[in-house]
C-alpha cells in the first residue's frame, strides 16, 4: 500500500503545482484514478481498496474532482461522465473516521449536487443520452450505498435529490431523461430490499409524489409504465395504502389514460390498491362499519368521561362567581337605598330646624312687625315662583321657535330644489322644441358670384395673416398647381369611363331592342312586306331610345344642384371654373 500512498501524494502535488486547463485536468484524473483503483483492487489485502478511497477523501483529491463539475463545463462530456462514475465509485466504501460528520453532512451532498448539475447539462443535449444514463447510475449507486444515513438523520438523500433544482431541470428536458430518473428509483428499490425500509416518511412521501406526478404530466407509455412499476414496488415493500388513498382521482386517471398502453396488468394491480373496498364482500363491509362505529362511540364516551370532572368544576366556578356577583349587587343596592334614606332624613331635619329658627325669629319680633314680615316673605316667594315659571315658558317658546325655524328652512330648501329641477326640465323642453323646429339642411342654399368672390378674398386674407411655417408660398403654389392637375386628370378619367359605360349601355339597349323585336314578331306565314322593313332598319328603335334619353335628361335638369354633383355636365362646369 505504500507505493499507492506515495502515488497519491505525488498526484496531489501535481494537481496543486501544474497549471492545466479543465479539459486536461479531467483527462489526467480519469487516467490516474482508473489506474490507482485497478492497482488497489488487485491487492491481496481486502481492506486496501477501502483505505485507498479514504486516503483520496482525506487528501482532498475527491474535493478537487467534485469542483470540476461546474455549470460552465463545456465539451468533453464523455470524459466528464467517466470522472463522475469514478468519483461515485470512490465515494462508496469510504471510512472517513473522525471526519465522518463533514463527510456525510457536507461532502456527500456537494457530490450529489455536482452530479445532478452535470446530468442537467447532459439532459439538454439529446445526443448524449448514454452519458446521462451513466451519470444517473452513479447517482443511484451513491444513494443505495448510503441509505443508512436516513435513519441517522444526518442527510436525507432522497429529499435532497427530489427537491434539487437540477433534478427538476432533468425531468423537464426530455421524455428520455424523465424515464432515466424513474428507472433510477426502480433500480434502487430492486437492488436492495432495505432501501425503502431505511427511508424516512418524508422521503417516501416525496418519492411517491414524484411517481404520481409523472403519471399526471406525461403521456409517454414508457414513462407511465415505469412510474406504475415504481409505485407497485413501493407498495409491495411498504404499507402505502393510506398514502395512495390521499391521491384523489388517481384511479380514474389510471382507468382513463393508461388502459390499453401495454401494461394493463400493472394498472389493474394499482387500481385494486386504490379501491380496496371493491374486493371485499358486503358482510365484511358491514362488519368493518360496525367496528368503526363502536370504536368511535367508545372514544366519544372516554372523552366525555375525561371532560366530565372538568365540566363539573367549571359549573361550580361559574355558580360561585354568579352568586358572588348577586351578593355584590344586593349590597350595592342596599347601600344606595340607605344613602337615599339618609339624604331624605337630613333634608327633613334641615327643614325642621329652619322652621324652628324662623318661629324663634318671629317670636323675637314686635307684634306690629310680624304681619309686614310675613307679607314680604309671601311676596318674595311669589316673585320667585313667577320668575321660575316665566323662565320655563320662555325656554319652551325658544325651543318651539327653533323647531319652527328648522322646519321653515327645510321647506325653503325643498322649494328651491323643486324650483331648480322644474327650471332645468323646462329649459330642456324649450331646447328640444327649438331643435325640432330648425330646418334639416343647415348648409348654404346657394353660392352666387359675389359670395364666391367674398369667400375667396377671406381665404386669401387668412393665408396672408397665417402663413405656413413648414413650406414657402412658391411651394404652396406649386403644390396647388399639382393638385389641380391631378384633380383634372382624375375628372377626365372619370368622364372617359362614364362615356365608355354610356356606350356600353347604348349597345346593350340596342341589343335588348332587337331581342324584343324578335320576340314579338309574327310567324313566317303571317309576315308581310311592311313588317320586313321594320327589321331591315333600326330607326324606330333608335328614335324610341333617343326619346327615352331626352326625357331622362329633362328630369335630371329639374333635380336640385346637390343631386347632380356626379353628373357629366356638372363635372364639365367644375373643370371650366
Task: Between 276 and 577, name the one with better pLDDT.
Answer: 276
pLDDT at 79: 77
Give residue-wise pLDDT tens across range 109-149: 777 777 777 777 777 777 777 777 777 777 777 777 765 54
pLDDT at 574: 37
Residue 429: all three cell numbers together: 323642453
Which pLDDT band holds residue 569 (cuts at 50, 70, 90)?
very low
The answer to whether residues 273 and 254 touch, using CB atoms and an 8 Å cutoff, is no
pLDDT at 561: 66
Query: Three-state SS across 222-253?
Result: HHHHHHHHHHHHHHHHCCCHHHHHCCCCHHHH
Residue 177's nearest CA partner among 136, 144, 141 is: 136
pLDDT at 187: 73
Of 97-101, 147-151, 256-260, 367-371, the poorest mean pLDDT is in 147-151
Please report where in the chains the cell 464523455 appears, as a residue: 78
pLDDT of 396 higher than 80: yes
Average confidence (pLDDT) over 371-383? 88
Which pLDDT band holds residue 538 (cuts at 50, 70, 90)?
low
How many percent of the chain have pLDDT more than 70?
Answer: 75
Average confidence (pLDDT) over 278-292? 74
Neighbour-count burial for 339-352, b at 16+ CB within 10 Å, e otherwise: eeeeeeeeeeeeee
pLDDT at 531: 67
Distances (CA, A) of 135 to 142, 174, 293: 11, 16, 54
Within 8 A by CB and 6+ apart from 184, the residues are: 136, 137, 139, 140
pLDDT at 573: 41
Share the mean pLDDT of the chain: 76
Q: Is the full-model pTM beyond 0.85?
A: no
Give residue-wise pLDDT tens across range 486-533: 988 898 998 999 889 888 888 887 777 777 777 777 777 776 776 666
- DSSP assignment, residue 559? S
pLDDT of 548 higher than 90: no
Task: Between 407 and 535, name the one with better pLDDT.
Answer: 407
Residue 86's nearest CA partner among 7, 33, 14 is: 33
Distance CA 32, CA 79 (A): 13
Task: Between 15 and 404, name the one with better pLDDT.
Answer: 404
Distance CA 160, CA 199 (A): 12
Question: Is the Cα dihedral 156, 159, 165, 166 positive or negative?
Answer: positive
pLDDT of 155 higher than 50: no
Give residue-wise pLDDT tens across range 165-199: 777 777 667 777 777 777 777 777 777 666 777 67
pLDDT of 549 higher than 50: yes
pLDDT at 227: 79
pLDDT at 284: 75
Amino acid at each position: 500500500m505504500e507505493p499507492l500512498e506515495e502515488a497519491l501524494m505525488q498526484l496531489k502535488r501535481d494537481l496543486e503545482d501544474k497549471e492545466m486547463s479543465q479539459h486536461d485536468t479531467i483527462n489526467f484524473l480519469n487516467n490516474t484514478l482508473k489506474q490507482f483503483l485497478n492497482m488497489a483492487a488487485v491487492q491481496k489485502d481486502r481492506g486496501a481498496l477501502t483505505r485507498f478511497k479514504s486516503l483520496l477523501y482525506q487528501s482532498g483529491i475527491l474535493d478537487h474532482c467534485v469542483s470540476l463539475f461546474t455549470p460552465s463545463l463545456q465539451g468533453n462530456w464523455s470524459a466528464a461522465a467517466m470522472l463522475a462514475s469514478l468519483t461515485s465509485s470512490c465515494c462508496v466504501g469510504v471510512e472517513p473516521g473522525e471526519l465522518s460528520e463533514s463527510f456525510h453532512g457536507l461532502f456527500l451532498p456537494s457530490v450529489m449536487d455536482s452530479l445532478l448539475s452535470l446530468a442537467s447539462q447532459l439532459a439538454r443535449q439529446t445526443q448524449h443520452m448514454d452519458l446521462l444514463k451513466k451519470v444517473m447510475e452513479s447517482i443511484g449507486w451513491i444513494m443505495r450505498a448510503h441509505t443508512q444515513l436516513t435513519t441517522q438523520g444526518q442527510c436525507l438523500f432522497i429529499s435532497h435529490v427530489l427537491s434539487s433544482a437540477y433534478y427538476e431541470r432533468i425531468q423537464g428536458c426530455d421524455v428520455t431523461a424523465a424515464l432515466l430518473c424513474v428507472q433510477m428509483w426502480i433500480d434502487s428499490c430492486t437492488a436492495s430490499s432495505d432501501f425503502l425500509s431505511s427511508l424516512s416518511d418524508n422521503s417516501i412521501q416525496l418519492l411517491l409524489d414524484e411517481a404520481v406526478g409523472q403519471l399526471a404530466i406525461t403521456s409517454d407509455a414508457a414513462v407511465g409504465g415505469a412510474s406504475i412499476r415504481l409505485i407497485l414496488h413501493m407498495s409491495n415493500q411498504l404499507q402505502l395504502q393510506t398514502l395512495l388513498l390521499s391521491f384523489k382521482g388517481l384511479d380514474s386517471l389510471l382507468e382513463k389514460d393508461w388502459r390499453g398502453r401495454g401494461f394493463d396488468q400493472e394498472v389493474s394491480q394499482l387500481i385494486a390498491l386504490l379501491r380496496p373496498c371493491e374486493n371485499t364482500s358486503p358482510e365484511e363491509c358491514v362488519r368493518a362499519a360496525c367496528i368503526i362505529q363502536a370504536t368511535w362511540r367508545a372514544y366519544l364516551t372516554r372523552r366525555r368521561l375525561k371532560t366530565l370532572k372538568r365540566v363539573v368544576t367549571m359549573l361550580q366556578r361559574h355558580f360561585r362567581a354568579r352568586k358572588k356577583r348577586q351578593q355584590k349587587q344586593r349590597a350595592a343596592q342596599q347601600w344606595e337605598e340607605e344613602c337615599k334614606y339618609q339624604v331624605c332624613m337630613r333634608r327633613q331635619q334641615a327643614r325642621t330646624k329652619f322652621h324652628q329658627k324662623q318661629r324663634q325669629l318671629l317670636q323675637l319680633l314686635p307684634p306690629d312687625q310680624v304681619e309686614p314680615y310675613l307679607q314680604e316673605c309671601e311676596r318674595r316667594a311669589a316673585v320667585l315662583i313667577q320668575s321660575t315659571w316665566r323662565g320655563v315658558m320662555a325656554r319652551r317658546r325658544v325651543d318651539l321657535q327653533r323647531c319652527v325655524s328648522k322646519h321653515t328652512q327645510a321647506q325653503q330648501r325643498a322649494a328651491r330644489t323643486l324650483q331648480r329641477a322644474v327650471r332645468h326640465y323646462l329649459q330642456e323642453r324649450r331646447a328640444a322644441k327649438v331643435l325640432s323646429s330648425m330646418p334639416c339642411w343647415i348648409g348654404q342654399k346657394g353660392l352666387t358670384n359675389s359670395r364666391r368672390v367674398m369667400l375667396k378674398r377671406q381665404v386669401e386674407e387668412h393665408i396672408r395673416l397665417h402663413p405656413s411655417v413648414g413650406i414657402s408660398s412658391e411651394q404652396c403654389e406649386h403644390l396647388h398647381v399639382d393638385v389641380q392637375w391631378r384633380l383634372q386628370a382624375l375628372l377626365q378619367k372619370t368622364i372617359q369611363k362614364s362615356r365608355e359605360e354610356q356606350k356600353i349601355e347604348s349597345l346593350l339597349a340596342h341589343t335588348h331592342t332587337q331581342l324584343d323585336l324578335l320576340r314579338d314578331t309574327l310567324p313566317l306565314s303571317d309576315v308581310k312586306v311592311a313588317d320586313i322593313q321594320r327589321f331591315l332598319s333600326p330607326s324606330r328603335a333608335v328614335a324610341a331610345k333617343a326619346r327615352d334619353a331626352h326625357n331622362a335628361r329633362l328630369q335630371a335638369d329639374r333635380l336640385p344642384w346637390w343631386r347632380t354633383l356626379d353628373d357629366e355636365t356638372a363635372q364639365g362646369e367644375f373643370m371650366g371654373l
